[in-house]
Structure 1
Amino acid sequence: MFIRALRYSDPVVRALESELQLEYAERYGDPDEGPILPEEFTPPDGLFLVGFVGNEPVATGGFRKHGDGVAEIKRMYVAHEHRGGGHARRLLSELEAQALRAGYTRVVLETGLKQPEAISLYQSSGYTPTAPYGYYSDAELSRYFTKDLAADA
């Protein structure tokens, strides 16, 4: 898999985002309604990445500024037919490296109990539980994680 930065508004990103929203609806009953502005994923404060196998886009994820020195990882997704090949782990690692290059020393993220594979990925990648924040901070199914990037520098 090779990884490219694309605008959050790019048609390739929008198509994968549509797949992700369908998955949220299947797992939780509704798409993700958390507010996202495309410009939040624009350097220097943010970035959105797409992983390709050949010419096929198969994975997405981005980060945006969450606070001083803290980035929030958003919209991690791997297309169904490409799961289990390490693409999510590779994309997550690249997001962390790019966030560190952008000056962030810590990342946070939110996921849900109906995404056990995501929770497993984050925990096995060194993420630890953290306090709830943001749009879903009161949601029973939401789980929050953090990782210190400076420790990996």
Structure 2
Amino acid sequence: MKRRDKGGTTKMRNAKMSVAEVESFLHHEFPQAFAHDDISIECADGSTSLLRQRFSERLLRPGGTISGPTLMTLADFAMYVVLLSAIGPVGLAVTTNLNINFLRKGQPGQDVLATARLLKLGKRLAVGEVLLLSGTCPDPIAHVTSTYSIPNA
């Protein structure tokens, strides 16, 4: 079911999977995503998701900033989570494109938050965007757009 928000944007209302169901599915199908026990899914509602990457020294690159691969991984995972919450347990949905713009340095010692939202959900493709935030700072450290391919049911 879809509804229009005040800005006229169409949003999906009914998630096909809850956070607990997404986590259970991922722990079974994609356990390596939780290998370091440092990513948590805080929200997934069929149109948005919020993930938290807890700070660890292993996330830093020389110079003390959060590494690009860390940010790309978190963004891709956040997009996968929101997609699963929208379409259900489709393990073979895969990233076909991911574009990231690094905007500013993430602060060492701070968790990284990924807020993902679906922009378009079709039968075969899903397009979304992810903002990556450092700690409680409202200014994003990176902006990501991503496309996922959804296999035939």
Output the TM-score relative to the length of structure 2. Answer: 0.30
Q: Which has the higher strand share?
A: 2
Higher relative contact order (CA 8 A, sep 6+): 2
Larger Rg, first or second structure (1 or 2):
2
